[in-house]
Structure 1
């Protein structure tokens, strides 16, 4: 197939590279000239293990390219996949402006001479009802009597940063939302070599699925950390309790997201919890548990910081290992480590940060904006590994588990991911 992917962020870039590996001709579309130049040079604009190799392979074989203008490709492509961001709006709802803009762009570029309908697959997280009430009207208004030239599908992604390639080819499930819940032949063909349960359902059920997944992951992290805090106060090993609890896969599901440790963050869980809160309030539902998740997560950030304060005096020196919200990633959006760094600076503690994956010169788009609006002194705070190992610190805050493999000069090491 020839597939146009809109949005070359963490989801879109992974999808584009993986689709090219499967032998499809993929054209990535983005508003950033810098991202386009990086991709066309055979490199990935984002940090994700294995992605540089896939992008280089796709470009070398002539299967992957990037552009700002998709209009000349839409008439000749079989599928358009929308992976643009839906960040939090000020009221907690999703900002749908990027989805609207791309929908207009695609709808306005569909020519009358198409022999087969264009399959437009939306992967961005969106409120249930968005396809029917926002996206479909855009296409109906633009195409009018030619609406049969497009087939809209909602196909949520379940990719985790730092293992996104693995998750693309081995997803926990495939959810395909269509107007009447019927199968989509093109997506079935695309996923033919992927071994995962497939669910065909309506647009709204498919849209809701992503909220359920992300909010439950957030609930699990918050629950685990609350248990961890109680264990800490009682002098109980949280690691031991976690091992026993997650051994029960018959009743307690799985160990994923249930280990007491760091707070949750990133570009999905916080914003999707906020969006579900907004939706619940908008429709008059009462979601007291969901409403408490972000407060519990903030409480855990404060708990971790208070533990750190016990080991470093005001005016002292601290080193943080890891700044991005997850290892093997440079995604700083809503990283709890940024909140921790900010608290150190506000407490008059001299802070240095070592994270080899975070390079300010390579940050792009929303990631760049969040990084420097949340931590303006980022460039000055980041240090090389040689500096991290040669200088003396009162405290090392290890968010990655790297300390055991480094020659650090410090009085104390606190591993925020191990409440043992």
Structure 2
């Protein structure tokens, strides 16, 4: 295939060298004359280990060149990959001026007699919704009613780390291909042929948000590690050894567990230990701002879920809450998010039933007993058995865990707050 790369920074130059090395013909396009001239001499405009060799070989074999203007460069291209910058604006949002400029330029260059659509791929990080709400309207306004016949829009985030970018290009953790309708893009599948990685064919907004989620998670990990490190240093503890212990746990700590969006955390361990670490950090002057935000974030999620389950509910409606303990197969109510949900529903005036077969008020003891009756003093009158739960008419059934599988509730509106689709 013939591929155009628009923007010859780190991402664009790496893509140009790697794609050309796969046997494709590549034209690099950048308004910076210095970058264009450097690439045309067989060198990379940016330093990245191994990239000079890829570019020199591609130039020598006639598979790579660069120009400063689009002109007719896209006429015989199969794919145009946009790699221009989206720097931070003064308000923290991305500055989209380069995206707008390059989109207009591409749209203006698309010939109306193209035999196949030009696949226009964006790799620049940008706000979810940008493709549908800004880029597509630009193409439609310039090209007109034949827009969808002449172009295919794809969002394909890159996962390159500087200094290991070539290795990352050919061995990525995943390949994400977002399209307007979520259907696979044949040209992009062909472009990634030979690269072994999980491929996700998704809607364009799911693809657009991927880099935000990934990079913010990396930032969270760094900040968390440094906060723990400060606490350790202030207490004379080896942060290195604590880290070795932490990362050795690939069952829970370094795994997919606890990263699935769903219910808030609760139970007898997480909330109290977070509070205790906050106290230790404050007492030693460690300033753990990330840790300090965890309980507030958890409370915000509890309220968010309450608003979600009640948004279409009539005042005074009867509600069934399935699962009151903090997880299934236990009767532990301590700091259970479901208890907070029950309290909020009662405070809002809803008629509440609770189904949790493991829960017997007469068996609650100690702190579990005190917590249950302090938050839900009417708990004895709220619990219903399986027959009642299945027979009554409810405005909504709220599932907090897998106990919902025990009930036959055909035709009921069920909201599973243990997972977010």
Q: TM-score range by the shorter chain?
A: 0.5 to 0.7
Looking at structure 1, the residues matched to 291 and 211 of structure 2 have their Cα atoms a distance apart, in angstroms, of 15
- Residue 232 of structure 2 is matched in structure 1 by 231
- Residue in structure 1 matched with residue 173 of structure 2 by the alignment: 172
User: Where does structure 1 lack aligned partners over 5 or more consecutive residues?
Assistant: 255-287, 294-420
Are residue 252 (structure 1) and residue 253 (structure 2) matched?
yes
SS at match of 1:48: coil
Distance 1:33 1:291 in 2: 49
Displacement of 1:137 in angstroms is 0.2
Q: Which residue of 1 aligns with 2:202?
A: 201
Residues 290 and 7 of structure 1: is their aligned pair in 2 closer, same or farther, counting only changes over 3 Å?
A: farther
Question: After the TM superposition, which residues 208-357 of structure 1 pair with which residues of structure 2 at under 5 Å, given as runs?
Answer: 208-253=209-254
Q: Distance in 1 between matches of 2:292 and 2:111?
A: 46
Contact 1:215-1:290 at 8 Å conserved across structures: no
1:99-138 residue pairs with structure 2 within 5 A?
99-138=99-138
3-state DSSP of counterpart to 1:4:
strand
Displacement over 4 Å in runs of 4+: 288-293
- Report the equivalent of 1:5: 5
Is the partner of 1:200 in helix, strand or coil? strand
Report the CA distance shift for 1:246/1:90 in structure 2 as closer, same or farther (over 3 A). Answer: same
Question: 1:151, 1:221 → 2: CA distance?
Answer: 38
Q: Counterpart of 1:82?
A: 82
Shift of 1:71: 2.0
User: In the alignment, what sits opposite 2:143?
Assistant: 143
Is contact 1:219–1:290 with CA below 8 Å preserved after alignment? no
User: Post-superposition shift, 1:145?
Assistant: 1.9
1:373 corresponding residue in structure 2: none
Structure 1 residue 112, shift from structure 2 partner: 1.2
Shift of 1:210: 1.1
Query: Hey, what's the Cα distance between the residues in 2 that align with 1:83 and 1:207?
Result: 14
Would you say the 8 A contact 2:224–2:290 is kept in 1?
Answer: no
Residues 3 and 227 of structure 1: CA distance in aligned 2, closer, same or farther (over 3 Å): same
In the alignment, the residues of structure 2 paired with residue 70 and residue 249 of structure 1 have an alpha-carbon distance, to the nearest angstrom, of 49
Once the two structures are TM-superposed, the CA of residue 292 in structure 1 deviates from its matched residue by 7.4
Instruction: Specify the structure having the higher radius of gyration (Cα).
Output: 2
| TM-score scaled by length of structure 2 | 0.60
User: How many angstroms does 1:291 deviate by?
Assistant: 12
Would you say the 8 A contact 1:158–1:167 is kept in 2?
A: yes
Separation of aligned partners in 1, 2:21 and 2:32:
24
Structure possessing the higher relative contact order (Cα contacts under 8 Å, 6 or more residues apart)? 1
- Offset of residue 236 of structure 1: 1.4
Deviation of the 1:35 alpha carbon? 0.6
Supply the distance in 2 between the matched residues of 1:46 and 1:3 (Cα, whole angstroms). 20
Once residues 92 and 164 of structure 2 are traced to their aligned partners in structure 1, the CA distance between those partners, rounded to angstroms, is 28
1:142-197, CA deviations, whole angstroms, 9 ceiling, x for partnerless residues? 11122110000001111111111001000000111111111000011111101000
What's the secondary structure of 1:72's corresponding residue? coil
Pairwise CA RMSD of aligned residues?
1.7
Rounded to whole Å, the distance in 1 between the matches of 2:84 and 2:293 is 28
Task: Give CA deviations for 1:30-78 in whole Å, capped at 9, x if unaligned.
Answer: 1111111110011111111111111111111111111101221111111
Query: Where does residue 43 of structure 1 map in the other structure?
Result: 43
Partner secondary structure for residue 228 of structure 2: helix
Structure 1 CA distance for aligned equivalents of residues 92 and 141 of structure 2: 29
Give me the whole-angstrom Cα distance separating, in 1, the residues matched to 2:7 and 2:248: 40
Q: Is the 8 A contact 2:80 2:118 kept in 1?
A: yes
1:204 is displaced (CA, Å) by 0.7
User: By how many angstroms is 1:250 displaced?
Assistant: 1.7
Question: For residues 107 and 79 of structure 1, what CA distance do their matches in structure 2 show?
Answer: 13
CA separation of 1:205 and 1:35: change in aligned 2, threshold 3 A: same
- Name the CA distance, whole Å, in 2 between partners of 1:290 and 1:210: 23
Q: Which residue of 1 aligns with 2:91?
A: 91
Q: Which residue of 2 aligns with 1:361?
A: none
What is the aligned length? 260
Q: Which moved more, 1:237-246 or 1:184-193?
A: 237-246
Question: For the Cα contact (< 8 Å) 2:223–2:290, is it kept in 1?
Answer: no
Alpha-carbon distance in structure 2 between the residues aligned to 1:170 and 1:290: 34
Question: Counterpart of 2:23?
Answer: 23
Is 1:159 equivalent to 2:126 in the alignment? no
Structure 2 gaps of 5+ residues are 256-288, 295-421
CA distance in 2, matches of 1:229, 1:212: 26
CA distance in 1, matches of 2:292, 2:166: 32
